[in-house]
Amino acid sequence: MTTTTTYAAAGERGALTISDSAVERITARAVTEVAGIGGAATRVLGVAVGGETPDRGAKVTATVTAGTAALAVRLSIGYPQPVRETTEAARNHLTRRVGELTGLTVERVDITVTALHTDTAETRRVQ
């Protein structure tokens, strides 16, 4: 879906069109600015494919309608970061940053935490 936002400041400048996919890319980049957040694995039929590591990007879905944006973000959080405080920091940051970069009003940010990840590599032992 694409929306058209018209700005009339400083004379007739025309219209700015921002697509959902552009907002998704901006949001995915902005979420990397929040400490302690990693990406989410791609899912096929509900099964995670690959790992949910800090190196992967967050999965974002955006819906842009009439100058507003609603975001759905899937991400992982570094253990032992507090989940509630980290997601609230991410929500506040995304609302502000996406609004700054796009000129849209971010009305909603839904966050799904898909995993908690550690900085150390998991070691497996066979007994």
Query: Which residues are 59's β-sheet partners?
Result: 74
Domain ranges of the chain: 2-7+18-117
Q: Note the pLDDT tens digit of each residue in 13-30.
A: 777 788 999 999 999 999
pLDDT for 18 equals: 87
118, 79 Cβ separation under 8 angstroms: yes
pLDDT for 78 equals: 87
By the 10 Å C-beta count (0-12 exposed, 13-18 middle, 19+ buried), 81 is classed as middle
Query: Which residues are 68's β-sheet partners?
Result: 65, 105
The sign one gets for the Cα dihedral 41, 45, 47, 50 is negative
Question: The pTM is what?
Answer: 0.74
Residue-wise DSSP of 10-67? TS---EEEEEHHHHHHHHHHHHTTSTTEE---EEETTEEES---TTSPPEEEEEEETT
Residue ranges in the chain whose pLDDT is less than 50 = 53
Please tell me the distance from the alpha carbon of residue 109 to that of residue 1, in angstroms, as a whole number: 18
The CATH code of the domain at 2-7+18-117 is 3.30.70.1350
